[in-house]
Structure 1
């Protein structure tokens, strides 16, 4: 599958790394649309969901840029001092890099906390006509629950090393400040983009009630599709292939996507 490595600056001047997965087959020279994918909390653009979903969409003619948030994977900067606000700025920076290359994104896709980030960034991306969330939290503070008892140590000492998903991460008070009080409800209410909420009712990390709150807050046009028994990280290939098929079909109504 043809890919292109991209490097582009963040709002704070750090170099971020991304991979543009190019459309395949008859769509190689003229992609049906361009999408921007934001990965889950502490994941990277090499996560199962990021890789498989971008490949599946590329096979259907939609090219996808997946990238690493500040301080993760191929991107520079300190994860410890980033937080959700930095994630939102990174989404905007990625969209600007695509636009500069003549591929302004019509679709924003976000997985888990990346879903919350694309909801928050959409109003700052003029080319975006549609937004898709997969297992996204409604309250951004929800992600801080994963810090457990370390939250008090971070507040007291200014920073602490925590274990998230079996891996160690340094997290600072600046990270907490950049994640709390984000006002997602008003952002969702004024989204003014077509919205597709995808969520598994058996998600053990971000409960299905978050999908209900996002869907209720959003104005039409909006749609909800159940991911049935998929796990939060979408580790099964069948789940990402299903999601890609639904997204492509849904896009037909909201983006100038040539029909096959």
Structure 2
């Protein structure tokens, strides 16, 4: 059984069974009831930090005390000399902050494709790896801002393009969830070969799914951050491909997704579509080690991936925190600072 943490006053907090959440909904959207919360890693409970009026009818005897937990810091005390192994340093960039430098690095994945990324080098032993979302790149606003914030905290960061995206080699694919998780594994293995410890992996949107899939398969990263990931991978498919998309793709072998002006944005093959539809996040999340700390951050006004999907992750991942940012959209356009603050707190 899981519980919701309710702030009763300044000195006490209590837990409410998740079984009661459905009775709170009364057909309304969940985000109208829950403002800003996270999960206790040891119990998968919601920590709600704002007042919720609709809970006033519940009796105190339904509530239980909750304990606080501590999260381990990323180790930033050690300084190392980077030695390039199994990859190529392309160019150095001027320092963005005192004691840091940026370097473009190429890493080959298991298919021989070159993955291009940018290392924000602070000299820390630990490194955080950032993963972009669907039809995006390492240069997305959210990924760049997070990298800069972590760099300022003295934590080395690597942001890269998955195969078929940005500067990396390969062809763009609609699905590729598990193949991108394998791309991430190639990156982590590269840094492991350079005596670096990947203390956290973070993914935005589709990248959120990728880091969770990675954690379910490889079990070698202690902190995983899912930002706006999709729990139901079939969600959003009809909106992009139109009604009857399964029949169309079986008849023609592909569907071209076009812009409003008729320009072909990308092609969805039957294979890539089925890869997406057959990616089961529920089953994958059940395979994540209980010692792996997972944070899900989601915007209450996300119109691309509904906030209810974030709640589903909270139900199945054993060691999980959940934080909903009130008013934030899928890209956290007006909430970058709040997103950064939440991520830094989790990693530090």
* SS at structure 1 position matched to 2:221: coil
123 and 98 in structure 1: CA distance in 2 versus 1, 3 angstrom threshold: farther
Of residues 102, 112, 123, the one that matches 1:29 is 123
Tell me what 1:258 maps to.
none
82 and 104 in structure 1: CA distance in 2 versus 1, 3 angstrom threshold: farther
Partner Cα separation in structure 1 for residue 152 and residue 137 of structure 2 = 22
Partner Cα separation in structure 1 for residue 205 and residue 330 of structure 2 = 8
Runs (4 or more) in structure 1 with deviation over 6 Å come to: 164-167
Moved more, 177-186 or 62-71: 177-186
Partner Cα separation in structure 2 for residue 60 and residue 163 of structure 1 = 42
Structure 2 unaligned spans of 5+: 1-95
* SS at structure 2 position matched to 1:226: strand
Decide which structure has greater helix share: 1
* SS at structure 2 position matched to 1:248: helix
Deviations 1:122-181, CA, capped at 9 Å, x for gaps? 144444101111111112222534432283443322223214799711221221132222
Of residues 176, 190, 207, the one that matches 2:287 is 190
Moved more, 4-13 or 151-160: 151-160
Alpha-carbon deviation of 1:90?
1.5
CA contact (8 A) 1:85 1:179 kept: no
Partner Cα separation in structure 2 for residue 107 and residue 184 of structure 1 = 20
Q: How many residues align?
A: 243
Of residues 214, 229, 239, the one that matches 2:327 is 229
CA contact (8 A) 1:41 1:112 kept: yes
Tell me what 2:12 maps to.
none
Tell me what 1:17 maps to.
116
Structure with greater Cα Rg: 2
Give yes or no for the alignment of 1:46 onto 2:143: no
Moved more, 71-80 or 177-186: 177-186
Partner Cα separation in structure 1 for residue 322 and residue 174 of structure 2 = 34
TM-score by length of structure 1 reads 0.85
72 and 149 in structure 1: CA distance in 2 versus 1, 3 angstrom threshold: same
Give yes or no for the alignment of 1:59 onto 2:158: no
Q: How does 1:1-260 map to 2 (within 5 A)?
A: 1=96, 2-22=101-121, 28-30=122-124, 33-80=126-173, 83-149=176-242, 151-152=245-246, 153-163=248-258, 168-192=265-289, 193-220=292-319, 222-236=320-334, 239-252=335-348
CA contact (8 A) 1:108 1:130 kept: yes
CA contact (8 A) 1:39 1:68 kept: yes
Moved more, 209-218 or 60-69: 60-69
* SS at structure 2 position matched to 1:79: coil
Partner Cα separation in structure 2 for residue 101 and residue 244 of structure 1 = 27
Alpha-carbon deviation of 1:201?
1.0
Partner Cα separation in structure 2 for residue 243 and residue 77 of structure 1 = 31
CA RMSD between the two structures:
2.2
Partner Cα separation in structure 2 for residue 147 and residue 116 of structure 1 = 18
Moved more, 197-206 or 132-141: 132-141
Partner Cα separation in structure 2 for residue 42 and residue 125 of structure 1 = 25
Alpha-carbon deviation of 1:225?
1.2
Partner Cα separation in structure 1 for residue 225 and residue 253 of structure 2 = 35
